[in-house]
């Protein structure tokens, strides 16, 4: 099946936003073995959009559009497709009710405009939108398939995953499957050096990629549905023999999710005391639904006074060693553990920049404290990059200590 | 002048990279008043690239291509353009020498392939590449202009700035400038309804767009460099008369940055007590460098016990009204203000989902508490969407209360 993607929105042509939708969809469609031959961006302009639809119709079987489904007069994708295919727009009772429900839920009143979003070209299969008011739709006509999706990624992605991916899966026989191994604590070139012989294979392929603070190896196998899983597992086993406990997660599992899972499995609770990471540690933990079972307290002490008063860090520690010191990191972790009556306490204190550094304590110096029932560990980090990068890296190091502890691995 | 951009590279169609070049070029060309009507991504395939060139040639005067200028057999952009225009490829002595020099500089030897990069369609004006081995070129033919640029942004951007921007500037006398107004507390269709007459204008244009929890209006004016600023300001004034304090920021300023700036300006400090937002509020505040001047304490109390013990929320409040209640939000905000000795206290408590909801307290119910020296406000929110969305929206509502207070606006 030959496909192409048409993204509608003048903001794309003005360079106000980058088209991540086309990337996302292409990546997912590649997994289904669907060849995408063209991406086109066009403005909210009926004549030019129709021109693009005509070109696409002549050369592709699958035409996916993104954007232009909103309630405003600018939004013309649906109307233009209907007119291009000579189909009337028909109101969907169900979609209309959904819009009424949506506005009831958020305690607002829909305007007349909003009901425009309940109209669809006759014969459409409507795709509900859980995260907005613009439903999408699929339309089959004369051997062509139109898939019409909303522009905001937060609406497009769930709609694609829930409705479009399963729909398109029926059209393909060969499967491409990937598994990603996530590695923490080794640089990309080190990982590459260690697994070099495995990088030569052609099916499965193994490809290294740098993530945000971690490294990944992606194993990709092509073949029959029942074979690819085993093909991947064999390569994975070899990689695990080489990299061992540097591998912390598979696919899109995040470090914090791994840690929460391990805490739940082991029946442990965790509390956090943050300085330089400023709430990011707590935020990452509570990103995970159900975190409240293993996490009940996080404290962000962004001044010496708060460290003393709320966490009970000794004044002498702060005076003698400073807020950014192994001693302070240790007390923060130990004291928050006691304050929360939790099994584990995790702390960060450091200099995230861009200013605040000194020759002795430069930007990027961070101490992570980790208090357990048996012992308190302190890890010193020297991180590079901007504020955001330093904070993100600090979090990963902190979580990795907890992971290693809960998995019974070596921590330092 | 009507233009379009064709980006060549199979990696774009596989979704391995996102096309930032098209965004970059469009943004720069908009400033020159050049209308870009289409972006096309196509693979490293001669037939399909030729198809795209043909379509572009028929509808545009300016055709910019990116990518496909490398030394490998995959790279076919130059050859395809030459063949499409029936022009021979001619070797440039100068470009050949540049390639030899480049390899000398990096201490390597060029291969035969590399000299492919010294060939250009006859009549080209060659654009040197300081950051790689692939020169670009400009070709004028039959009233059409081809601008051919390399794919890596680190090569494309300097080449565009140094050679292409000045070249194109000669064709235009006009500038396009934009200003974005960010609006919180009104839906897109409501905003559109309120400013409808202004949306009809053609210069400046005003276009609404939905952001992540907010709405924007982009004012875009076209004209002489010295006029566009005033044209924008006049429309902005009219919009501000209608939308007033719903406008919270201009261009790419974030809500948290606005709040931190206002706190600094007014000499106020803020402390946070979070339940459902789990640290996101503190994290957003500390994202801003220098936040420590106005923020010294954030507490994430993720259990009733922590709310009682660390924040001193009364047991009776929790027992009678529950953790998700206006009463708890109020005590959290007031108590963290006292604990931190700050001027302002901000709290969140709610049900972010996906589970934990009940008929009386459904997922999406959030209370924001805001304690000031004069009074404590509590705002009830009914939010829709997933966990992430509910948390992000809660934060915006919380910050907006602080903003309104510090700007002396009405809060509830």
| Res A356 pLDDT > 80 | yes
The residue ranges of every structural domain in chain A are 2-169, 175-250, 255-406
pLDDT at B130 over 90: no
Closest by Cβ to B39, choosing from A13, A74, A287: A13
Tell me which residue in A39, A158, A286 faces B279 most closely, judged by beta carbons.
A286
Q: How far is CA A96 from the centre of its chain?
A: 32
Mean pLDDT of B198-213: 88
Nearest CA in chain A to B194: A111
Which of B23, B187, B389 faces A15 most closely, judged by CB atoms?
Answer: B23
Inspect the interface and report whether the beta carbons of A289 and B353 lie closer than 8 Å.
yes
Query: Looking at residue A322, what is its pLDDT?
Result: 97
Q: What is the predicted pLDDT for the residue at B304? A: 97
pLDDT averaged over chain B? Answer: 94
Answer positive or negative: Cα dihedral of A112, A79, A68, A118: positive
The per-residue pLDDT for range A259-276, each reduced to its tens digit, is: 999 999 999 999 999 999
pLDDT value at position A302?
96
Contacts for B353 with CB less than 8 Å, ≥ 6 apart? A289, B363, B364, B386, B387, B390
Nearest CA in chain B to A109: B190
**ipTM value for the complex:** 0.75
CA distance B348 to chain A (A): 13
pLDDT at position A71: 87
pTM confidence score: 0.75
Cβ–Cβ gap B38/A19 under 8 Å: no
**Res B138: pLDDT:** 98
Is there a contact between A26 and B19 if contact means CB atoms under 8 Å apart?
A: no
Of B29, B283, B299, the CB nearest to A299: B299
Which CATH number is A2-169's, of 3.40.50.620, 3.40.980.10, 3.30.300.160, 3.40.50.300? Answer: 3.40.980.10
**Distance between CA B127 and CA B99 in Å, rounded?**
13
pLDDT, position B324: 98
CA-nearest residue to A305 within chain B is B296
Please tell me the predicted confidence (pLDDT) of residue A31: 83
In this prediction, residues B272-291 reach a mean pLDDT of 97
**What pLDDT is recorded for position A218?**
87
Contacts of B388 in chain A (CB under 8 A): 287
Q: Do A26 and B18 lie within an 8 Å CB cutoff?
A: no
List the single residue in B with minimal CA-CA distance to A155. Answer: B385
The alpha carbon of residue B137 is apart from the nearest alpha carbon of chain A, in Å, by 23
Residue B73, pLDDT above cutoff 90: no
Closest partner CB to A131 (pick from B295, B340, B386)? B386
CA distance A109 to A107: 7
- In chain B, what residues touch A310 (CB-CB under 8 Å)? 297, 299, 310, 339
CA angle B272, B274, B280 (to 5 degrees): 85
Test B306 with A297 for CB contact under 8 angstroms. Answer: yes
Q: How confident is the model at residue A207, as a pLDDT?
A: 83
Contacts of B272 in chain A (CB under 8 A): 300
Of B45, B282, B386, the CB nearest to A278: B282
Measured between beta carbons, which residues in chain B are less than 8 angstroms from residue A102?
A: 384
Taking contacts as CB-CB distances below 8 angstroms, the residues of chain B near A108 are 187, 190
Q: What pLDDT, on the 0 to 100 scale, is given for residue A199?
A: 86
**Mean pLDDT on B39-60:** 97
Chain A interface disruption, residue of B198, B260, B282, B310, most A CBs within 10 A: B282
Pull the structure tokens for residue B2.
Answer: 């009507």
Size of interface A-B (CB pairs under 8 A): 265
Q: How far apart are CA B292 and CA B344, in angstroms?
A: 15
What pLDDT, in 10s, does the model give residues B8-28?
998 899 888 899 999 999 999
| pLDDT tens sequence across B307-349 | 999 999 999 999 999 999 999 999 999 999 999 999 999 999 9
pLDDT, tens digit (0-9, with 9 covering 90-100), for A264-309: 999 999 999 999 999 999 999 999 999 999 999 999 999 999 999 9
For the structural domain made of B175-250, what CATH number should be given? 3.30.70.2860
Query: How far from chain centre, in Å, is Cα B176?
Result: 18
Interface mutation target, options B41, B196, B295, B311, chain A, most CBs of A under 10 Å: B41
Q: What is the mean pLDDT of residues A58-71?
A: 96
CA distance B309 to chain A (A): 9
Q: How confident is the model at residue B216 (pLDDT cuts 50, 70, 90)?
A: very high
* HEC letters along chain A: CEEEEEEECHHHHCCCCCCHHHHHHHHHHHHCCCEEEEEEEECCCHHHHHHHHHHHHHHCCEEEEECCCCCCCCCCHHHHHHHHCCCCEEECHHHHHHHHHHHHHCCCCCCHHHHHHHEEECCCEEECCCCCCCCEEEEEECCEEEEEECCCHHHHHHHHHHHHHHHHHCCCCCEEEEEEEEECCCCHHHHHHHHHHHHHCCCCEEEEEECCCCEEEEEEEEECHHHHHHHHHHHHHHHHHHHHHHEEEECCCCHHHHHHHHHHHHCCCEEEEECCCCCHHHHHHHCCCCHHHCEEEEEEECCHHHHHHHHCCCHHHHHHHCCCCHHHHHHHHHHHHHHHCCCEEEEEEECCCCCCCCCCCCCCEEEEEEECCCCEEEEEEECCCCHHHHHHHHHHHHHHHHHHHHCCCCCC
Count of other CB atoms within 10 angstroms of residue A275:
29
Residue B131 clears pLDDT 90, i.e. is over it: no
Cα-only R_g, chain A: 26
Predicted pLDDT of residue B211: 84
pLDDT score for A107: 81
B280 vs A contacts (CB less than 8 Å): 279, 283, 286
CATH 3.90.950.20 fits A255-406, yes or no: yes
Let me know if B315 is exposed, middle or buried by CB neighbors in 10 A (0-12, 13-18, 19+). Answer: exposed
Tell if the CB–CB gap between B14 and A27 is shorter than 8 Å: yes
Query: Which of the 8 DSSP states describes residue B4?
Result: E
Using CB atoms, which residue from B26, B209, B210 is nearest to A15? B26
Q: What is the distance between the alpha carbons of residues B131 and B126, in angstroms, rounded to a whole number?
A: 15
pLDDT digits (tens, 9 = 90+) for B234-258: 999 999 999 999 999 999 899 999 9
pLDDT digits 0-9 by tens, B168-180? 988 877 778 889 9
In 3-state terms, chain B is what percent helix, strand and coil (to 5)?
A: 45, 25, 30
Q: What is the mean pLDDT of residues A21-46?
A: 93
From the list A412, A310, A325, A330, the residue with the least C-alpha distance to A366 is A325
* pLDDT value at B107 more than 80: no
Average pLDDT over residues B120-131: 93
pLDDT at residue A174 tops 80 = no
How does pLDDT run across A306-336, given as a tens digit for each residue? Answer: 999 999 999 999 999 999 999 999 999 999 9
- The H-assigned helical ranges of B253-409 are 255-266, 280-287, 304-309, 315-321, 326-340, 387-406
Locate the chain A residue with the closest alpha carbon to B351.
Answer: A289
């Amino acid at each position: 099946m030959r496909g192409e993607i048409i993204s509608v929105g003048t903001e794309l042509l003005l360079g106000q936003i980058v088209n991540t939708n086309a990337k996302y969809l292409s990546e997912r469609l590649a997994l289904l073995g669907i060849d995408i031959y063209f991406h086109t961006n066009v403005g909210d302009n009926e004549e030019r959009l129709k021109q693009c639809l005509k070109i696409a119709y002549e050369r592709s079987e699958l035409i996916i559009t993104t954007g232009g489904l909103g309630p405003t007069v600018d939004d013309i994708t649906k109307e233009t497709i209907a007119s291009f295919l000579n189909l009337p727009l028909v109101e969907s009772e169900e979609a209309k009710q959904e819009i009424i429900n949506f506005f009831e839920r958020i305690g607002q009143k829909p305007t007349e405009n909003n009901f425009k979003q309940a109209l669809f070209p006759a014969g459409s299969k409507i795709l509900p939108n859980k995260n907005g008011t613009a439903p999408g739709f699929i339309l089959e006509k004369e051997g062509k398939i139109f898939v019409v999706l909303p522009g905001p990624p937060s609406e497009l992605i769930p709609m694609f995953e829930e409705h479009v991916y399963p729909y398109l899966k029926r059209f393909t026989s060969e499967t491409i499957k990937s598994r990603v191994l996530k590695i923490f604590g080794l640089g990309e070139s080190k990982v590459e050096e260690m697994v070099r012989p495995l990088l030569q294979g052609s099916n499965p392929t193994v490809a290294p990629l740098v993530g945000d603070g971690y490294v990944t190896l992606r194993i990709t196998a092509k073949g029959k549905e029942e074979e690819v899983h085993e093909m991947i597992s064999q390569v994975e086993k070899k990689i695990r023999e080489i990299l061992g406990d540097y591998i912390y997660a598979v696919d899109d599992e995040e470090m914090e999710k791994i840690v929460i899972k391990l805490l739940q499995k082991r029946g442990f609770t965790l509390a956090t005391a943050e300085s330089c990471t400023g709430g990011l540690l707590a935020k990452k933990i509570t990103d995970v639904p159900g975190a409240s079972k293993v996490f009940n307290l996080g404290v962000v002490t962004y001044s010496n006074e708060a460290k003393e008063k709320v966490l009970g860090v000794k004044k002498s520690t702060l005076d003698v060693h400073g807020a950014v010191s192994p001693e302070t990191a240790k007390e923060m972790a130990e004291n928050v553990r006691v304050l929360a009556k939790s099994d584990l306490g995790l702390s960060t204190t450091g200099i995230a920049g861009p200013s605040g550094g000194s020759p002795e304590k430069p930007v990027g110096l961070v101490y992570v404290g980790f208090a357990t029932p048996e012992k308190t560990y302190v890890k010193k980090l020297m991180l590079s990059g901007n504020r955001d990068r330093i904070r993100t890296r600090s979090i990963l190091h902190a979580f990795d200590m907890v992971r290693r502890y809960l998995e019974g691995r070596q921590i330092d």
